[in-house]
Amino acid sequence: MQKKSKPQRNSIQESERPIGVFDSGIGGLTVFKSLRALMPEEDMIYFGDTAHLPYGSKSKASIVQFSVEIARFLCQQGIKALVVACNTSSAVALSEIKKAVSVPVEGVIVPGARACARMASRRIGVIGTERTVRSGAYAKEIKKILPEVRVLQAACPLFVPLVEEGWWNYKVTEDVARIYLKPFQKARVDSLVLGCTHYPVIRSVISRVMGKKVSLIDSGEETAREFQKILESLNLRKKKGRGWSRFYASDDPDRFLRLSRRFLGSKITVKQVLKKNFE
């Protein structure tokens, strides 16, 4: 049996350690941004697995392998807790990640389902990657809380490359959205879960297509709120100061750098970690 990765111990107090966040690419920055807004004093390390993007079309075995390797790498950087910002990883690899590391781990599916419960929706739509939709993870969690509700799911695989290309407000993106979202319009859903971290980046396009009456649920915002409570309950909140952020990408960081600066609206530096360094 493989040993659990423990965070590096030294004299730094546990609560002073950084938070780890990862996704397959820049999408998880939507969760990062929510965490940063809620907890400006926390130090954060973000990992974008750009060498393996997209996760959504990969097998469960590959996603588990990549996710566990990244979780271990982040533990080696001394994190105190981990946010699995990727919906696809959260849907198929969360239990394996939890087994592999000894820090608290939070995924995005259960918080997203809880956010649905608050909307008093009768017909809920879920969009995500092929792997997330095939896992049925959102439908399962939503039905645990709201057994009567109708859940309609569909994969929108072209959204991820459009977001990674930076085509956030292009006509082609809206055209693609009109095709993918038609079944949800027909079914008259009243809430739509953005079940992939990349989708909140094109939220305005999705909202334009679905109309103002449909509530768009961003699991990332809810995850940030729940994660904050978890840190508080475990006495792991950093008390003061201004948090730093460190970014890693597993492939050439240029595109990641360009898009993340545009998305975060601030200058950042990204370090490339070669796969052999985090296996």
Residue 27 burial class via C-beta count within 10 angstroms: exposed 0-12, middle 13-18, buried 19 and up: buried
Catalytic annotation present for 86:
yes
User: Which position among 29, 155, 196, 249 is part of the footprint of ligand DGL (CB under 6 A)?
Assistant: 196
Which is nearer to ligand DGL, 43 or 106 (by Cβ)?
106
Which is nearer to ligand DGL, 194 or 236 (by Cβ)?
194
Query: Shortest gap between Cβ of 25 and ligand DGL (angstroms)?
Result: 6
Q: Does 88 bind ligand DGL (CB under 6 A)?
A: yes
How many CA atoms, within 13 angstroms, populate the side-chain half-sphere of residue 198? 29
Which is nearer to ligand DGL, 104 or 157 (by Cβ)?
157
Q: Does 260 bind ligand DGL (CB under 6 A)?
A: no
Q: Does 141 bind ligand DGL (CB under 6 A)?
A: no
Of the listed 75, 86, 116, 156, which one is catalytic? Answer: 86
Cβ-based neighbours of 236, under 8 Å, separated by 6 or more: 14, 15, 80, 81, 104, 230
Determine the size of the site formed for ligand DGL (CB under 6 A): 17
User: Which position among 36, 98, 114, 198 is part of the footprint of ligand DGL (CB under 6 A)?
Assistant: 198
User: Which position among 39, 64, 79, 86 is part of the footprint of ligand DGL (CB under 6 A)?
Assistant: 86
How far apart (Å, rounded) are the C-alpha atoms in residues 38 and 82? 16
Q: Does 151 bind ligand DGL (CB under 6 A)?
A: no
Which is nearer to ligand DGL, 198 or 255 (by Cβ)?
198
Stretch that binds ligand DGL, among 170-178, 193-201, 222-230, 270-278 (CB under 6 A): 193-201
Which is nearer to ligand DGL, 36 or 198 (by Cβ)?
198
Catalytic annotation present for 75:
no
Q: Does 27 bind ligand DGL (CB under 6 A)?
A: yes
Rule CB under 6 A: which of 101-130 touch ligand DGL? Answer: 129
Which is nearer to ligand DGL, 26 or 151 (by Cβ)?
26
Of the listed 75, 116, 156, 196, which one is catalytic? Answer: 196
Backbone angles phi, psi at 20, to 5 degrees: -100, 140
Stretch that binds ligand DGL, among 73-81, 172-180, 190-198, 241-249 (CB under 6 A): 190-198
User: Which position among 5, 24, 153, 250 is part of the footprint of ligand DGL (CB under 6 A)?
Assistant: 24
Pair 222, 115: CB distance under 8 Å: yes
Give the active site residues: 86, 196
Q: Which residues lie near ligand DGL (CB under 6 A)? A: 23-25, 27, 53-56, 86-88, 129, 132, 160, 196-198
